[in-house]
A and B are shown apart, each in its own frame.
Chain A
């Protein structure tokens, strides 16, 4: 057998194996189209504006929830899914040796996920999201008042990852569609830089709020919250 024939034979066998595996995986994915996940991870902001809310180069921690559903199977290998997700990121620091600062970023987004169903247990994917980030920045003044600035700003992300999926471990308890999965994903999330105008929030007490003198906001500057990210997801598929 010459090398060319051998190569063709191996390729044919490999494709057959892949096709069989993918068919099995597609069937598996079709059996568990829903997913719910919690995630933890980190983000690496690259703009100095963010360092007003972060003491060191240690990246802030992110946590979140997401829900998704497979919506289309394009051929034997590719599955498209959509998801809705929320993530929460918080960081604190102190600026000018006096003023404690904090930044809380809540991101709400919808995503489109393309999974390549190579094996039943290991699935590479890419994920594209669009949504909005809610920035809540605060600077505590030395006199006790806290300047607060909140702002919604558009954001999107693109990432790629791997999903490690269990077998039908819950078949024994009467839930054959249930599976567990863990995913690792890295990517970049772009957030439109947002100008933050801060003011001291009105007191909760209505009478006190009505008695307060009108106050002018102070521009803190433009925050660029774009960042590279790494997320680890813990999924339940069903």
Chain B
């Protein structure tokens, strides 16, 4: 009896002990919040980045079944954006980790994720940057510290940047880390030029905008020093903040408009003989041009040989045509104050021949009229080239439809109907479109055949067919907060994704070729996919 008891009891006690001692700790990921960055569209995918898990979750919407793929990214991801240009990729900027208990230190990284699921490219940018800029074709990216954001490090250098060549793999020379010269400021924004003809070669410039100065970087020669250009005298206390940059590639000129300044700055890049192989072969020659009172927008007009700058200034209610080389300005009074410029090529009621024209309008309820400006012979005819068209209400925002020679005007008022008008750029007539919604957040589909709206909190998504301007809508099961049209694979019809509220991820997929409720389907909870794997997913 004792022998049997002694054999059975230890077995039971052993099993019990095993169970007690093997009880695992709760997966730490379960106690973190699911805080996902806004979705990024690339090809037929949408990518959400789970910040706490440091995982990019790519939802492939190309097939009959929605597939989800998880890709690890750097710790503390802070930004996810589509890569510019033709390469359909998602760029995820991560700040890394300064080290916590159980969490090793990790450098800042930039991940380039392929929607096809190829292995991501990882660039170690080292510092915990919080902003990213790309050039138009997506070849170069610059990670930088945007002013105002906390670095969350004991020491940080806000003027450090990382120049990443996205066409090349990570190497000792890619990315290039450098500190831009500072006159006491920090970068507000980085913009890229198109190819600029400088010293006979085309090259891309990065322009770092800081309060009261700009810094030029020659991306074709990243080892060369940057060139900083003050926009004010050192003793000038004005907060002249660069807000808009235009590039005249053929003439090698950079135009800078700045808040709190009535001038436009023309930086002409003059070729010089470099002092050495690491010296710049150009220098900027700055020309400060009067541009009226509170210039708010500018555009380049005319052919390369006679390129001019068109500036609208609501403070002085005029438009100005500035020839930076001749240093001349032609002022054109406007009946209605304009804050924005829309260039287009089209006919007019008096001229059936397509020609370069401009629509000058005031957004954000500045004005209840728009001005059409004939750009041909503008310096001679001046005010004779202006036609003012009255609108029912002040303009809230304007959505260009260049393929249709029209613009949609959103009056952005709270009334239930009549918020939108269609302005025909050729006939210069205004047609109301009864709408219960604003155009805020409206999205074109990939071939710009439809314009989609998804008013937040509404259970319907609507569209306007831009070929016929006939509207439509589809009722969904859940309230929406956004809509993302996706291109179709290989010329096939695209998909339209309606995004629903819910941190767990919820969407409705619509077939752009057959826009009916009967062809829609939903997926809920895709951000919780493989939840049970926790941190080991």
Contact = CB atoms under 8 A, between A and B. Distances in A.
The answer to whether A and B belong to the same complex is yes
Interface of A: 18, 43-52, 54-57, 59, 93, 95-99, 116, 118-119, 124, 126, 139, 141-143, 145, 147, 159-162, 185-188, 196, 198-200, 212-216, 218-223, 227-230
Q: Is the interface of A mostly helix, strand, loop or mixed?
A: strand
Contacts of B12: 159-161, 185-187
Contacts of A162: 8-9
Given A213-B517, A218-B529, A228 B16 contact: yes
A57, A200, A218, most chain B CB atoms within 10 A: A218
B19 A48 contact: no
Give 5 nearest A-B pairs by CB, closest first: A228-B19, A221-B532, A44-B19, A143-B502, A46-B22
Nearest to A55: B26
Interface string B493-526: 0000000111110101000000001001111111
Nearest to A119: B1
A142 B527 CA distance: 12
B517 A44 contact: no
Contact of A96 (B9, B33, B65, B66): B33
26 contacts: A48-B536, A51-B24, A51-B26, A57-B23, A59-B19, A59-B23, A99-B504, A124-B5, A139-B531, A141-B502, A142-B502, A143-B501, A145-B502, A160-B9, A162-B8, A186-B12, A186-B13, A196-B532, A200-B524, A212-B477, A213-B477, A218-B525, A219-B530, A220-B531, A221-B533, A227-B19
A56, A93, A96, most chain B CB atoms within 10 A: A96
Contacts of A212: 477
Nearest to A122: B5
B31 interface: yes
A215 B524 contact: yes
Contact of B8 (A52, A96, A126): A126
B34 interface: yes
Contacts of A48: 24-27, 534, 536
A156 to B, nearest CB: 14
Given A54-B26, A96-B29, 17 more contacts: A51-B25, A52-B534, A59-B19, A96-B503, A98-B33, A124-B8, A142-B504, A143-B502, A145-B506, A145-B524, A160-B11, A199-B524, A200-B524, A213-B522, A218-B68, A219-B529, A228-B19
B485 to A, nearest CB: 19
Contact of B30 (A44, A96, A119): A96
A145 B500 CA distance: 12
Interface string B442-476: 00000000000000000000000000000000001
A48, A49, A212, most chain B CB atoms within 10 A: A48
A230 B504 contact: no
Contact of B24 (A47, A99, A139, A219): A47
A218 B523 contact: yes
Nearest to A21: B1
Contacts of A143: 478, 500-502, 504, 506
A141, A199, A230, most chain B CB atoms within 10 A: A141
A232 to B, nearest CB: 12
Contacts of A230: 16, 19
A147 to B, nearest CB: 5
B4 A116 contact: yes
A199 B537 CA distance: 20
A45 B502 CA distance: 30
B532 A142 contact: no
Given A54-B26, A141-B525, A142-B502, A188 B533 contact: no
B15 interface: yes
Given A139-B504, A212-B477, A214-B522, A221 B531 contact: yes
Nearest to B531: A220
B414 interface: no
B18 interface: yes
Nearest to B503: A142
A204 to B, nearest CB: 16
B326 interface: no
Interface string B24-61: 11110111111000000000000000001000000000
Nearest to B53: A96
B23 A52 contact: no
A55 B520 CA distance: 38
B503 A141 contact: yes
A141 B506 contact: yes
Given A44-B22, A187-B15, A230-B16, A213 B520 contact: yes
A97 to B, nearest CB: 4
Given A126-B8, A227-B19, A52 B30 contact: yes
B8 A228 contact: no
Given A213-B476, A227-B19, A221 B24 contact: no
B8 to A, nearest CB: 5
A222 B536 CA distance: 12
Contact of A222 (B25, B29, B532): B532
Nearest to A200: B524
B87 interface: no
A141 B23 contact: no
Nearest to A95: B30
A143 B15 CA distance: 42
B500 A216 contact: no
B70 to A, nearest CB: 11
Contacts of A95: 30, 531
B31 A97 contact: yes
B20 interface: yes
A77 to B, nearest CB: 9
Nearest to A45: B23
Contacts of B523: 215-216, 218
A200 B508 CA distance: 14
Contacts of A57: 23, 25-26
Contacts of A188: 15, 18-19
Contacts of A50: 24
A228 to B, nearest CB: 2
B476 A228 contact: no
B528 interface: yes
Contacts of A139: 504, 525, 528, 531
Contacts of A213: 476-477, 508, 517, 520-522
A93 B30 contact: yes
Contacts of B517: 213
